């Protein structure tokens, strides 16, 4: 086992984190924990961490993600300035302070891929958002490190697609997008906290036969929404459970009626969130250990001086 550091403060933080993690995982007395840490006899890495991943995929030909009940045809982009768009956004924060962010946009269903990350004494963060013509994905990860103050680390990844179309024929149009997710949370100590979650939305609008372009105002005749599709895994502060995993699949589905020649618009997006919290260490154990050793050395030196002849 090795502990990397660049300053006395980071040495203290790293050792304190390792000692407390050791005690949490193995229930050892402090003396045995310290001995195990220094000798490397026991792996005491048990960081508080949260990760979330969500992805959706479909057939680019449209045979999977949209269907019609009366044989209608969808012509993408007809009468609009653009037929589709892709968006990806990421951000990471430490104690509510933005450390890194990125965004990308394109007037097509093309491949986008962005990331944001941070690594420092407070911990590590990463987030990503990606799209292509048949899929999208969002990921987030937060791993705070314990120290002398509380630390809150947050990461968010986002990806979205949108499309404009004209309907040929009258009847219902149904959009269906399958998705899957994986959430993992772990705490090093009961006083820490970890949360991972995903959310999604799907909207479908009917603008009628006008507007012929995408010039404002955009006022749909009818709309349907599926907002707040959520899954989450959390371990609260004080929760004695130290690990949790949640995974599964789902389907975003909407149906809306269109007349022949009506213009339509849809948008689909997913967000992955990760949050980690570490409570402050009450006693800086390495500092206390140093003071104790200094005291022992001082007492021994005094005893030696007193034991000398003529002292």
Q: Is residue 167 part of a domain?
A: yes
Bridge partner list, 251: 178
For residues 301-307, average pLDDT: 51
Same domain, yes or no: 70 and 215: yes
Question: What pLDDT is attached to residue 10?
Answer: 37
Work out the pLDDT band at 106, boundaries 50, 70, 90: confident
pLDDT of residue 241 exceeding 60, the answer is yes
Query: Alpha carbon of 274 to those of 50, 157, 167, 177: distances in Å?
Result: 5, 9, 40, 24
Residue 79 has pLDDT above 70, yes or no: no
Q: How many domains does the chain have?
A: 2
The residues facing 264 across adjacent strands are: 165, 206
Residue 21: partners with Cβ closer than 8 Å, 6 or more residues away? 44, 45, 46, 47, 188, 189
For residues 294 and 150, membership in a common domain is answered with no
pTM exceeds 0.85, yes or no? no
Domain contains 55: yes
pLDDT at 34: 44
Q: Which domain holds residue 292?
A: 8-44+283-305
List pLDDT tens digits, range 132-165: 888 899 999 999 998 888 899 999 999 998 888 8
Residues 186, 240, single domain; the answer is: yes
What's the pLDDT score for residue 285?
A: 46
Per DSSP, the three-state class of 239 is coil
Q: Per the domain annotation, does 311 fall within a domain?
A: no
Q: Do residues 96 and 207 share a domain?
A: yes
Residue 184's alpha-carbon distances to 128, 191, 192, 305, 309, in angstroms, are 16, 18, 15, 59, 67
Q: Across the strands, what pairs with 184?
A: 51, 245
Whether 105 and 185 map to the same domain: the answer is yes
Please give the Cα distance from 96 to 100 (Å, whole number). Answer: 12
Q: Does residue 267 form part of some domain?
A: yes
Average pLDDT taken over every residue of the chain: 77
The answer to whether residues 297 and 196 belong to one domain is no
Does residue 310 lie in a domain region?
Answer: no
301 lies in some domain: yes
Do residue 197 and residue 70 come from a single domain?
A: yes
pLDDT value for 137: 95
Which pLDDT score, from 0 to 100, does residue 179 have? 93
Does residue 255 share a domain with residue 150? yes
Residue 74 covered by a domain = yes
Asked if the structure places residue 2 within a domain, the reply is no
**DSSP letters for 262-277:** -EEEEEEEEEEEEEEE
Residue 137, C-beta contacts closer than 8 angstroms, at least 6 positions apart: 53, 54, 55, 56, 128, 129, 130, 131, 159, 270
Position 92 confidence tier, pLDDT thresholds 50, 70, 90: very high
Identify whether residues 26 and 53 lie together within a single domain. no
- CA atoms within a 13 Å half-sphere pointing along the CA-CB vector of 228: 0
pLDDT of residue 81: 53
* 64 in the same domain as 23: no
Q: What is the mean pLDDT of residues 197-223?
A: 80
pLDDT at 124 over 80: yes
The answer to whether residues 148 and 242 belong to one domain is yes
**What is the residue whose two structure tokens read 């997710």?**
181
112 against 296, higher pLDDT: 112
Residues 108 and 212 in one domain: yes
Residue 163: the pLDDT is 86
């Amino acid at each position: 086992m090795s502990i990397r550091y660049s300053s006395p403060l980071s040495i203290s933080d790293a050792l304190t984190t390792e000692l407390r993690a050791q005690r949490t995982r193995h229930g050892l007395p402090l003396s045995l924990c310290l001995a195990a840490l220094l000798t490397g006899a026991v792996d005491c890495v048990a960081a508080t961490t949260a990760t979330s991943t969500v992805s959706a995929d479909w057939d680019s030909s449209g045979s999977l993600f949209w269907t019609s009940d009366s044989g209608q045809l969808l012509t993408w982009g007809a009468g609009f300035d653009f037929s589709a768009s892709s968006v990806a956004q990421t951000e990471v924060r430490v104690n509510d302070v933005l450390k890194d962010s990125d965004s990308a946009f394109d007037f097509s269903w093309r491949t986008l891929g962005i990331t944001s990350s941070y690594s420092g004494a407070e911990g590590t963060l990463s987030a990503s958002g990606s799209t292509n013509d048949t899929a999208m994905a969002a990921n987030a990860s937060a791993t705070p490190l314990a120290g002398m103050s509380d630390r809150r680390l947050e990461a968010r990844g986002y990806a979205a697609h949108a499309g404009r179309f004209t309907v040929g024929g009258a009847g219902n149009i149904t959009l269906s997008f399958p998705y899957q997710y994986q959430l993992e949370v772990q705490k090093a100590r009961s006083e820490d906290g970890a949360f991972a979650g995903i959310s999604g939305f799907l909207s479908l609008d009917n603008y009628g036969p006008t507007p012929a372009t995408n010039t404002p105002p955009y006022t749909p005749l009818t709309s349907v929404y599926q907002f707040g599709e959520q899954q989450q895994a959390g371990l609260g502060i004080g929760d004695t459970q130290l690990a949790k995993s949640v995974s599964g699949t789902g389907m975003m589905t909407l149906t809306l009626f269109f007349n022949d020649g009506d213009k339509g618009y849809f948008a689909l997006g997913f967000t992955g969130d990760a949050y980690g919290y570490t409570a402050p260490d009450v006693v800086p154990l390495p500092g206390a250990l140093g003071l104790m050793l200094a005291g022992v050395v001082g007492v021994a030196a005094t005893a030696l001086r007193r034991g000398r002849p003529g002292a």
